[in-house]
Amino acid sequence: MNPLDLLAALGARVMGWLNALGHASLFFGDLVRHTPAALRRFDLVVVQIYAIGNLSLVIIITSGAAVGGVLALQAYYALDRYGAAESVGLLVALSLLRELGPVLTSLLYAGRAGTSLTAEIGLMKAGEQLAAMEMMAVDPRSRVLAPRFVAGIVSLPLLAAIFSAVGVGGAYLIAVKLIGIDSAAFWSQMQDGVDVFKDVGNGMVKTIVFGVASTFIALYMGYESEATPEGVAKATTRTVVFSSVTVLVLDFLLTSLMFSIKS
């Protein structure tokens, strides 16, 4: 192939990415700008919190219990070799609070709530509902998008807290009731080693960042989807993929900032 053609194609690709990035950033700015309007009409936000938060409770609670139980089992087998079996609670709690709680909840959230957001917005666009709203001088961004944005940011930290708490409960059931570790040792080791601000607090900060990122991506993909069934399907897939990758990369960045090696 002509190397100049290749170069031109590469240049076009890069320009395309830059444009998309700019468009997405402006969209994010719009979302933030319309947030006060959404807060003023809080009943809209409440409806969205129900759709995003309440309806995710089943998956969050079952996953939390399962992950907590599995962590306890695996940690026990590893720690028992060094006679440190009583630190199972500490290991599970730190893993959940610092990493697995925020990240797994965000991944599940992207899969369940993110896709439903994208599909809903995409179908609204396909059914020309958003255009109809604009005709009636109702800004779809403050009526439709911003409430969902606020609801996502509010719901994700709550879901992550529930995930971690249920995970610790699941670990307790496995470690104390099933394996037979001393209950007092389980809790006291955990309480000695887990710091409220460094572990619980940092975990919550992470969930807020992930909530902003995942919800923004879900809304953007829905808003920019093609107004066809295939377009909506592609958009939902892209939501899950982008949200997951973004959450994991942000997790790495935040972890290296928060849990740096100097104590």
Decide: is 49 part of the binding site for another protein (CB under 8 A): yes
User: Among 75, 104, 105, 74, which residue's Cα sits nearest to residue 88?
Assistant: 75
Count of CB atoms situated within 10 Å of the CB of 157: 19
Decide: is 100 part of the binding site for another protein (CB under 8 A): no
Decide: is 54 part of the binding site for another protein (CB under 8 A): yes
Phi and psi angles of residue 222, each rounded to the nearest 5 degrees, phi first: -70, -45
Nearest to another protein of 38, 161 (CB atom): 161
Give CA separation, 142 vs 38, 115, 227, in Å.
6, 20, 21
User: Among 50, 76, 51, 81, which residue's Cα sits nearest to residue 189?
Assistant: 76
At position 51, the amino acid (one-letter code) is A
When binding is defined by CB under 8 A, the residue of 117, 145, 199, 209 that contacts another protein is 199
When binding is defined by CB under 8 A, the residue of 46, 66, 131, 245 that contacts another protein is 46
Give the dihedral of Cα atoms 148, 150, 152, 155; nearest 10 deg. -130
At position 80, the amino acid (one-letter code) is D
When binding is defined by CB under 8 A, the residue of 123, 126, 185, 200 that contacts another protein is 200
Task: Give the residue carrying structure tokens 């989807």.
Answer: 225
When binding is defined by CB under 8 A, the residue of 25, 62, 183, 191 that contacts another protein is 191
Nearest to another protein of 199, 251 (CB atom): 199
Contact region with another protein (CB under 8 A), list: 30-38, 118-126, 195-203, 211-219:
195-203
Positions touching another protein (CB under 8 A) are 43, 46-47, 49-50, 53-54, 57, 93, 97, 154-155, 157-159, 161-162, 164-166, 168, 187, 190-192, 194-196, 199-200, 204, 263
